């Protein structure tokens, strides 16, 4: 089959392309901006890439056009496909029908932690010689790639609640039909497509309705929203974590300890390099999901002791003059707060300089702006990039007083961070985008 992918350079659609190639299909694709690292990955996989969405691409005559969810009505190539009645399908649907069909799918859903938990789960299975396939919205450093077909029926997928495509406004994850599902957490997000939390809970219940009675739901007992989802109707066994009466993981950031507890007490322990209660919860969910496919807890804990993390999750980008620069994907107030809390416990009294780009659609709308000061409470100084925002970042961060610096010019922001930084500081950069290459700019400026 020859497929032509619209919006191919996104993490998800790029992963679909690589899985399609590995499955023996011919793949071509296009995007508005074809650039590394995804363009390099795709070209090395043998995918021909086209810049833009020109109607002349119809001449490729693929068997099917696969349309990414970044493609909207009005896109010239999409409009031509519709006008001529050509065969098209969404990315999640193509994936479900051509890659996931007949496999044991382990889906990881939740507002936060999907990428990290899915990466942990895939690594636990890999360490147990189960050769899983996976499609993850980031690059697990243990693997070095975001997608792999795998050599067994097991397939780990990051189950995203964002909508599927212009023609299908259901969440992506309803297509995946997992046998093992992790429900990590659930709160309001994606204000551009969801009216409120209840609307997202409905989508999560649609996911729950697709699970078989012989499957397993691993659910965070600390999340009232997930309990509401399950109370709507559940036909699958549920194992809960983050509950004193069931499963939980405790530990210490300074020592890197990881201790798994179950209903009868301590089960086992390990040492690892991650920090934060959120990552310990992620680990607990991954251990329970892996056990469902046959990996004992002791083997899972051993695997986590060798888990490196995911690119752009508290990734150290460099250290200059005793100043450490981190890159993290956190872009929702809850994720920001948990990331900061984990770093604070790890570095103790050292100063933390937070550098924030409110870039997600939800953040650009200003829906979460009032929560930002509280999420940054453990930070010593916050530097916020306010370029292209539709709301007043100065006003939103005013409760922080002089501890908040807002700048609309990226170079001036870098200069202010460099002027404030001192040896021993931890500079935590948080954005769900490239942030204009700020990490490299900071390290170069600090070295002068």
- Which carries the bigger pLDDT value, residue 78 or residue 359? 78
User: How confident is the model at residue 335, as a pLDDT?
Assistant: 82
Pick the CATH number of 315-447 from 2.60.40.10, 3.65.10.10, 2.130.10.10, 3.90.190.20: 3.90.190.20
Mean pLDDT computed over 15-20: 95
- Which carries the bigger pLDDT value, residue 141 or residue 230? 230
pLDDT in tens, 263-299: 999 999 999 988 888 899 999 999 999 999 999 999 9
User: How confident is the model at residue 435, as a pLDDT?
Assistant: 83
Mean pLDDT computed over 56-65: 97
Mean pLDDT computed over 132-160: 93
DSSP-derived 3-state class of residue 390: coil
- What does the angle CA 392 – CA 398 – CA 400 come to, to the nearest 5 degrees? 135
As its CATH architecture, domain 102-304 has 3-Layer(aba) Sandwich (3.40)
Domain boundaries, the chain: 2-91, 102-304, 315-447
User: How confident is the model at residue 191, as a pLDDT?
Assistant: 65
User: How confident is the model at residue 88, as a pLDDT?
Assistant: 98
DSSP-derived 3-state class of residue 420: helix
Tell whether the model's pLDDT for residue 172 goes beyond 90: yes
Confidence of residue 193 (pLDDT cuts 50, 70, 90): low
Q: How far is CA 335 from CA 256, 314, 328, 330, 431, in A?
A: 20, 12, 10, 5, 11
Superfamily of domain 2-91: NAD(P)-binding Rossmann-like Domain (3.40.50.720)
End-to-end, the C-alpha distance of the chain in Å comes to: 54
Confidence of residue 123 (pLDDT cuts 50, 70, 90): very high
- Enter the tokens of residue 260: 């798994």
User: How confident is the model at residue 185, as a pLDDT?
Assistant: 86
User: How confident is the model at residue 201, as a pLDDT?
Assistant: 94
User: How confident is the model at residue 11, as a pLDDT?
Assistant: 86
DSSP-derived 3-state class of residue 173: helix
Mean pLDDT computed over 145-149: 92
User: How confident is the model at residue 94, as a pLDDT?
Assistant: 98
| From 56-60, 327-331, 426-430, the region with the lowest mean pLDDT | 327-331
Tell whether the model's pLDDT for residue 330 goes beyond 80: no
């Amino acid at each position: 089959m020859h497929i032509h992918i619209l919006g191919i350079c996104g993490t998800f659609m790029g992963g679909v392309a690589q899985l399609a190639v590995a499955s023996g299909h011919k793949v071509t694709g296009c995007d508005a901006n074809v650039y590394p690292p995804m363009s390099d990955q795709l070209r090395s996989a043998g995918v021909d890439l086209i810049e833009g969405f020109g109607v002349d691409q119809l001449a490729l005559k693929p068997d099917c056009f696969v349309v990414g969810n970044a493609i909207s009505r009005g896109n010239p190539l999409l409009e031509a496909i519709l006008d001529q009645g050509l065969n098209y399908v969404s990315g999640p649907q193509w994936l479900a029908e051509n890659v996931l069909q007949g496999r044991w799918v382990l889906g990881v859903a939740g507002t936060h932690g999907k990428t990290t938990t899915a990466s942990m789960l895939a690594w636990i299975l890999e360490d147990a010689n189960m050769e899983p396939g996976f499609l993850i919205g980031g690059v697990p450093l243990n693997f070095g790639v975001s997608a792999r077909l795998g050599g067994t029926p097991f397939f780990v997928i990051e189950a995203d609640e964002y909508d599927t495509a212009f023609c299908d406004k259901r969440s992506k994850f309803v297509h995946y039909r997992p046998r093992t599902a992790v429900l990590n957490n659930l709160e309001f997000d994606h204000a551009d497509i969801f009216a409120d939390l209840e609307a997202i809970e409905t989508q999560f219940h649609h996911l729950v309705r697709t699970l078989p009675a012989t499957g397993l739901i691993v659910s965070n007992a600390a999340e009232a929203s997930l309990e509401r989802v399950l109370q709507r109707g559940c036909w699958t066994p549920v194992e809960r974590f983050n509950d004193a009466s069931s499963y939980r993981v405790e530990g210490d950031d300074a020592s890197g300890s990881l201790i798994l507890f179950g209903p009868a007490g301590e089960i086992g322990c390990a040492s690892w390099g991650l920090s934060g209660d959120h990552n310990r919860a992620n680990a607990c969910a991954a251990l329970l999901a892996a056990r469902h496919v046959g990996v004992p807890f002791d083997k899972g804990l051993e695997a986590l002791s060798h888990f490196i993390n995911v690119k752009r999750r508290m990734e150290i980008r460099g250290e200059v003059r005793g100043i450490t620069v981190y890159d993290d994907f956190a872009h929702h107030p809850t994720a920001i707060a948990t990331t900061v809390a984990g770093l604070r416990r790890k570095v103790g009294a050292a100063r933390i300089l937070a550098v924030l780009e409110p870039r997600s659609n939800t953040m650009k709308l200003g829906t979460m702006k009032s929560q930002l000061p509280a999420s940054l409470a453990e930070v010593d100084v916050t530097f916020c990039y306010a370029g292209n925002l539709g709301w007043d970042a100065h006003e939103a961060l005013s409760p922080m007083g002089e501890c908040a610096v807002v700048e609309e010019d990226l170079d001036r922001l870098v200069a202010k961070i460099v002027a404030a930084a001192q040896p021993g500081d931890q500079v935590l950069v948080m954005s769900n985008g490239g942030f204009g290459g700020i990490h490299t700019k900071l390290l170069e400026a600090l070295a002068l």
